[in-house]
Amino acid sequence: MKTVKGFASATVGNVACGFDVLGFAITEPGDEVILTLSDRAHTDSPVSISAITGDGGALPLDPKKNTSSFVVLKFLEYIRAHKQIDFTGHISLELRKHLPLSSGMGSSAASAAAALIAANELMGLPCSKMELVHFAIEGERVACGSAHADNAAPAILGNFVLIRSYTPLDLITIPSPEHLYCSLVHPHTELRTAYARSVLPQEISLKTATQQWGNVGALVTGLLTSDYDLIGRSLVDVIAEPKRAPLIPGFFEVKQAALDSGALGCSIAGSGPSIFAFSSSEKTALAVGNAMKEAFLHSKAHLQSDMWVSPICKEGARIL
Ligand SMILES: Nc1ncnc2c1ncn2[C@@H]1O[C@H](COP(=O)(O)OP(=O)(O)OP(=O)(O)O)[C@@H](O)[C@H]1O
Ligand SMILES: N[C@@H](CCO)C(=O)O
């Protein structure tokens, strides 16, 4: 018997203007997955879930329905077909859930990434992190019906990740400016990614597209040149934010509170309801996060929330 524990942190998809093509990882909180390998198969499936904690009983124990076990099944199929590793034993999986569900914090992707980094270690590192991203993306399809990569890729690789193309998958890792801090505020309410995607337009005007890609290009340039003002000016989303903001009680008050407290910019984290802001120092990011929390509380919905201040995670998923 051999046991390995994997960890992967929360991620923020879209980063305002980069719908489905840009995301980044923060250092905490994150999900933990413990895998135990035994030599002999003892259930129909090569992977079974022994326990899940921290989810209030909400997550499926069926290995094909939970993102953590589903991606390990895909990983095992792949190493059998492409790495000549024929696994005949059994993997027992324990998921320690620390990320809230349907939060916009990449909860489903963190479970998948933590499980994959542990499975790869358990099997003697047959895959690169870049290969693991493919399975993590398939986990997103199980979670919300869409195989978007802007949570799954940074959960595994860390840093900012730009998805230049989905077919074929072409990922570009962008290192973060040294003093960039994220304030992430999670109001105590859920917004399912599948629903938040259903309110988006299927077509946009050329004028809207022009605005959006101008901002994506500028944001990437700002990150690469550590131009904090440019990063702030580029955090503009004219496609998803206008449709999703009404689904988040207090969104406009929270965004205004962040900007008034010195944030470079502020937008919806992934599909929401969490909201993120960037600042150019830890001290400002803390003040910004507290102001956002207060704004949620004093909004019409009086929402309690949790808040994290973090630099960008450089390492991605790791073994604990
Ligand atoms: N290990 C898992 N962790 C979280 N959700 C899971 C997991 N496995 C399956 N799911 C399913 O995925 C859905 C949650 O996915 P959803 O995409 O809405 O949340 P999220 O990952 O927090 O969102 P976002 O991508 O916006 O950050 C739930 O229906 C849940 O049952
Ligand atoms: N890009 C995805 C992220 C989900 O967290 C979306 O906006 O639906």
Q: Is 151 in the pocket of ligand 2 (CB under 6 A)?
A: yes
Q: Is 183 in the pocket of ligand 1 (CB under 6 A)?
A: no
88 has a pLDDT exceeding 80? yes
For 273-293, the pLDDT digits (tens) are 999 999 999 999 999 999 999
Residue nearest to atom 6 of ligand 1 (CA): 108
Is 190 a residue of the active site?
Answer: no
**How far apart are the C-alpha atoms of 39 and 49, rounded to whole Å?**
17
* Ligand 1 centroid distance, CA of 303 (Å): 21
Query: Which CATH number is associated with domain 181-311?
Result: 3.30.70.890
Q: What is the mean pLDDT of residues 211-233?
A: 98
Q: What is the mean pLDDT of residues 15-36?
A: 98
Yes or no: domain 2-174 corresponds to CATH 3.90.226.10: no
Q: Is 31 in the pocket of ligand 2 (CB under 6 A)?
A: no
Q: What is the mean pLDDT of residues 1-30?
A: 97
Determine if residue 92 is labeled as part of a ligand binding site: no
pLDDT score of 44? 81
Determine if residue 305 is labeled as part of a ligand binding site: no
Q: Is 193 in the pocket of ligand 2 (CB under 6 A)?
A: yes
Q: Which atom of ligand 2 is nearest to the CA of 13?
A: 3
pLDDT score of 87? 86
Least confident among 55-64, 69-78, 80-89, 222-231: 80-89
* Ligand 2 centroid distance, CA of 23 (Å): 9
pLDDT score of 15? 98
pLDDT score of 130? 97
187 has a pLDDT exceeding 90? yes
Q: Provide DSSP, the chain.
A: -EEEEEEEEEEEESTTT-TTTEEEEEEEEEEEEEEEEESS--SSSSEEEEEEESSTT-S--STTTSHHHHHHHHHHHHHHHHS-----SEEEEEEE--SPTTSSS-HHHHHHHHHHHHHHHHTTS-S-HHHHHHHHHHHHHHHHS----TTHHHHHH-SEEEEEETTTTEEEEEPPPTT-EEEEEEES----HHHHHHTS-S---HHHHHHHHHHHHHHHHHHHHT-HHHHHHH---SSSHHHHGGGSTTHHHHHHHHHHTT-SEEEESTTSS-EEEEESSHHHHHHHHHHHHHHHHHSTT---EEEEEEEB-SS-SEE-
Residues 6+ apart with CB under 8 A from 17: 212, 215, 216, 219, 234, 235, 236, 237, 238
Name the active-site residue from 11, 32, 67, 140.
140
Residue nearest to atom 3 of ligand 2 (CA): 270
* Ligand 1 centroid distance, CA of 52 (Å): 14
Determine if residue 103 is labeled as part of a ligand binding site: yes
Determine if residue 285 is labeled as part of a ligand binding site: no
* Ligand 2 centroid distance, CA of 104 (Å): 7
Q: Which atom of ligand 2 is nearest to the CA of 150?
A: 1
The best mutation among 72, 102, 191 to test binding of ligand 1, ranked by most ligand atoms within 8 Å of the C-beta, falls on 102
pLDDT score of 1? 85
What are the structural domain ranges in the chain?
A: 2-174, 181-311
64 has a pLDDT exceeding 80? yes
Is 193 a residue of the active site?
Answer: yes
Which-ligand-closest: CA of 148? Answer: 2
177 has a pLDDT exceeding 90? yes
Which-ligand-closest: CA of 268? Answer: 2
| Mean pLDDT of all residues belonging to the chain | 97
Which-ligand-closest: CA of 105? Answer: 1
101 has a pLDDT exceeding 80? yes
For 30-54, the pLDDT digits (tens) are 999 999 999 877 778 999 999 999 9
pLDDT score of 233? 98
Q: Is 20 in the pocket of ligand 2 (CB under 6 A)?
A: yes
